[in-house]
Amino acid sequence: MAKITYIEHNGTPHVVEVRPGMTVMEGARDNGIPGIDADCGGACACSTCHVYVDPAWTDKLPPRDAMEDDMLDFAYQPDPARSRLTCQIKVTPDLDGLVVQMPERQI
């Protein structure tokens, strides 16, 4: 299991254990984390699972693919360096300690 910290826009942290093979979005959804809507269910067809990855983790994640980059154009206040769609981040043991922060809102 990997411990992932999801931080709400207001600063409230939620630390949950997520099973390897799941996505960071599924970990939030299955644990009732507010701030990740996941309207498309993980199909990379919306931007409602958008987060800002903690700077210490940005270089440790696999790079965004073209589809994720395209969907981030629709996200609320995307950050070119830190924005990711959590449906596109597969959990591995190497992600133990990952920290992500939700934007003010999802669109």
Kindly report, residue by residue over 6-22, the tens digit of the pLDDT: 999 999 999 999 999 99
How high is the pLDDT of residue 55?
Answer: 98
CATH superfamily for domain 2-101? Beta-grasp domain (3.10.20.30)
How high is the pLDDT of residue 77?
Answer: 97
Cβ proximity of 44 and 73 under 8 Å: no
Tokens of 64: 């965004």
Averaged pLDDT score across all residues of the chain = 97
E-state strands within the chain: 2-7, 13-18, 50-53, 83-85, 99-101
Kindly report, residue by residue over 55-98, the tens digit of the pLDDT: 999 999 999 999 999 999 999 999 999 999 999 999 999 999 99
Cβ proximity of 1 and 95 under 8 Å: no
What burial class does residue 96 get, using C-beta atoms within 10 Å of its C-beta: 0-12 exposed, 13-18 middle, 19+ buried?
Answer: middle
Q: Give residue limits of the domains in the chain.
A: 2-101
How high is the pLDDT of residue 75?
Answer: 97
- CB-side neighbour CA atoms (13 Å) of 74: 12
How high is the pLDDT of residue 88?
Answer: 98
Nearest to 75 by CA among 56, 59, 88: 88
How high is the pLDDT of residue 31?
Answer: 97
